[in-house]
Amino acid sequence: MTHNLNIFENMESEVRSYVRSFPTVFTKAKGYKMWDEAGKEYIDFFSGAGALNYGHNDTVMQKKLVEYITSDGITHSLDMASSAKAEFLTKFNETILNPRDMDYKIMFPGPTGTNTVESALKLARKVTGRTDVISFTNGFHGMTIGSLSVTGNSMKRKGAGIPLQNVVTMPYDNYVDDQDSLDYLERFLDDSGSGVAIPAAMILETVQGEGGINAASFEWLQKVESICKRWGILLIIDDVQAGVGRTGTFFSFEPAGIKPDIICMSKSLSGYGLPFAITLIKPEHDKFAPGEHNGTFRGNNHAFITATSALSYWENEQFEKDIKVKSDIMMNFLEEMVEKYPELKGEARGRGFMVGIASDVDGLSNKIAAKAFELGLIMETSGPKDEVFKLFPPLTIDEDGLKQGLAILEESIKATVK
Ligand code: PMP
């Protein structure tokens, strides 16, 4: 049976979103490939907006999940103890936290990225007794009131319908006129006469995903950490999109050598595209009393099963090395495209598997993404003016698949700039 796209067009809020960018009905997906009802094959350079870092329907995770379901493994258990949860916690500590010498408590804040951000903002305010939060231009943290209030995108903020308060938005990295925004911030904090209240937290992405693939330098991140320490401000790293290997290491901030107070993770954490989020909290900040932050859908047991299986990828050192080799292929390709097609007025950006080209030509990136879709490559755009076409393949893609996708991308660029 095939379905008419009109059925989606009856739903206003649907048609305004991904249905419009990718106008077909998808039926099947495996690894880095997707198929639609007509049987057309697509290469996926989108990975569910970063929720499918291990690709679609990973065979091992699928088998574990089917075994768990058919043996009547418990599905829903609020925050009761379950065997699936115990296995996830054990493996997360053994595979991820302990080898990195990271001492964090693990909280299940609710099923999605915005839930972990809300829990982090609440906790930082509770721990410090302060109100304000510093966030950054073009940062994206979610669509509920708290996470939206720290999101630096005026179009998205309008959706709140009311002014969003208690947030100071600073320029991201050293972006504005070579003025170091952090020096500026320190001047404010230092000057008792400025009247600025010391904030509870600073929240940021190390590489901004929705904001246009802006990668902070490691030095800048270190400076953020030292300001936070000096003023007792809690540093929240939102690793919802940049985490789980997307920038080349499990946590995006690892190469900067920083240890945030609170870490937000979701998207690819379940490994299988299931809703799942965690908030990692330094033990001294573990201040929520039971019941102060709960919800019905915390700790989905099916997600525990696939997430535990997904962590096995990180037991094999070769996994990170392969990500690096493939990242270099992508970045070299993007730099080549910028040179070869000056009509793009492009700049190659990003880190690891979170890369793209920002084009200075109005609307061009969206046209390239639309052409790529026509030619069988799924890719999205980001940035305040959708100026960046974003390459987000699964980390597990093989080199052949990657090169095939890049070839389609070049064809799309060529066809569009002419
Ligand atoms: N933080 C970041 C960095 C994100 O990219 C997103 C989603 N794009 C969120 C938070 C919100 O996650 P969710 O859509 O699952 O609520």
Q: What is the pLDDT of residue 218?
A: 93
Q: Ligand 1 pocket, 285 CB below 6 A?
A: no
371's enclosing H/E stretch is: helix 364-374
State percent of the chain over pLDDT 90.
Answer: 84
Q: What is the pLDDT of residue 194?
A: 74
Q: Ligand 1 pocket, 112 CB below 6 A?
A: yes
Q: Judge contact between 304 and 85, C-beta under 8 A.
A: yes
Give the SS3 label for residue 169.
Answer: strand
Q: Whose CA is nearest to atom 12 of ligand 1?
A: 113
Q: What is the pLDDT of residue 174?
A: 65
CATH code for the structural domain at 6-59+317-417: 3.90.1150.10
Q: Ligand 1 pocket, 263 CB below 6 A?
A: no
C-alpha 2 – ligand 1 centre gap (Å): 32
* Exposed e or buried b per residue across 73-112, where buried means at least 16 C-beta atoms within 10 angstroms of its C-beta: beeeeeeeebebbebbbebbeebbbeeeebebeebbbbbb
The answer, yes or no, to whether residue 247 has pLDDT greater than 80, is yes
Where are the chain's structural domains?
6-59+317-417, 73-315
Return the bridge partners of 44, or none: 378
Give the pLDDT band of residue 173 (cuts 50, 70, 90).
confident
The answer, yes or no, to whether residue 408 has pLDDT greater than 70, is yes
From the alpha carbon of 267, which atom of ligand 1 is closest? 15
Q: Ligand 1 pocket, 85 CB below 6 A?
A: no
Q: Ligand 1 pocket, 268 CB below 6 A?
A: no
Give the pLDDT band of residue 418 (cuts 50, 70, 90).
confident
C-alpha 154 – ligand 1 centre gap (Å): 16
Q: Ligand 1 pocket, 113 CB below 6 A?
A: yes
State percent of the chain over pLDDT 70.
Answer: 96
Separation of alpha carbons 150 and 204, rounded Å: 9
From the alpha carbon of 49, which atom of ligand 1 is closest? 8
Alpha helices in 198-270 (DSSP H): 218-231
Q: What is the pLDDT of residue 131?
A: 96
User: What number is the average pLDDT over the span 332-337?
Assistant: 98
C-alpha 113 – ligand 1 centre gap (Å): 5
Q: Ligand 1 pocket, 118 CB below 6 A?
A: no
From the alpha carbon of 208, which atom of ligand 1 is closest? 3
Q: Ligand 1 pocket, 246 CB below 6 A?
A: no
Give the pLDDT band of residue 82 (cuts 50, 70, 90).
very high
From the alpha carbon of 115, which atom of ligand 1 is closest? 16
From the alpha carbon of 275, which atom of ligand 1 is closest? 15
Over the Cα atoms of the chain, what is R_g? 21
Q: What is the pLDDT of residue 169?
A: 87
Note the Cα 332 to chain centre separation in Å. 23
The answer, yes or no, to whether residue 176 has pLDDT greater than 60, is no
Q: Ligand 1 pocket, 141 CB below 6 A?
A: yes
Q: Whose CA is nearest to atom 5 of ligand 1?
A: 241
C-alpha 336 – ligand 1 centre gap (Å): 31
Q: Whose CA is nearest to atom 15 of ligand 1?
A: 113
Interior angle at CA 156, CA 369 and CA 296, nearest 5: 105
Per-residue pLDDT of 131-156, as tens digits, reads: 999 999 999 999 999 999 999 999 89
User: What number is the average pLDDT over the span 381-389?
Assistant: 95
Separation of alpha carbons 183 and 180, rounded Å: 5
Return the bridge partners of 322, or none: none
User: What number is the average pLDDT over the span 255-264?
Assistant: 98
The answer, yes or no, to whether residue 17 has pLDDT greater than 80, is no
Q: Ligand 1 pocket, 238 CB below 6 A?
A: yes
Q: Which of 116, 136, 237, 267 to mutate to test the pocket of ligand 1 (most atoms within 8 A of CB)?
A: 267
Q: What is the pLDDT of residue 172?
A: 86
User: What number is the average pLDDT over the span 118-123?
Assistant: 98
User: What number is the average pLDDT over the span 84-110?
Assistant: 98
Ranges 22-26, 82-86, 254-258: which has the least confidence: 22-26
The tally of CA atoms less than 13 A away on the side-chain side of residue 109 is 26
Separation of alpha carbons 29 and 57, rounded Å: 7
Separation of alpha carbons 155 and 376, rounded Å: 30
C-alpha 116 – ligand 1 centre gap (Å): 9
CATH code for the structural domain at 73-315: 3.40.640.10
Q: What is the pLDDT of residue 336?
A: 98
Q: Ligand 1 pocket, 240 CB below 6 A?
A: yes
Per-residue pLDDT of 273-332, as tens digits, reads: 999 999 999 999 999 999 999 999 988 999 999 999 999 999 999 999 999 999 999 999
Q: Of 252, 206, 260, which Cα lies nearest the Cα of 233?
A: 260
Query: How do 33-36 and 41-44 pair as beta strands?
Result: antiparallel
C-alpha 241 – ligand 1 centre gap (Å): 7
Q: Of 215, 132, 135, which Cα lies nearest the Cα of 174?
A: 215
Burial of 19 (0-12, 13-18, 19+ CB in 10 A): middle
Tally the residues of the chain.
418
Q: What is the pLDDT of residue 190?
A: 84
Per-residue pLDDT of 364-378, as tens digits, reads: 999 999 999 999 999
Q: Judge contact between 216 and 207, C-beta under 8 A.
A: yes
Q: Judge contact between 212 and 357, C-beta under 8 A.
A: no
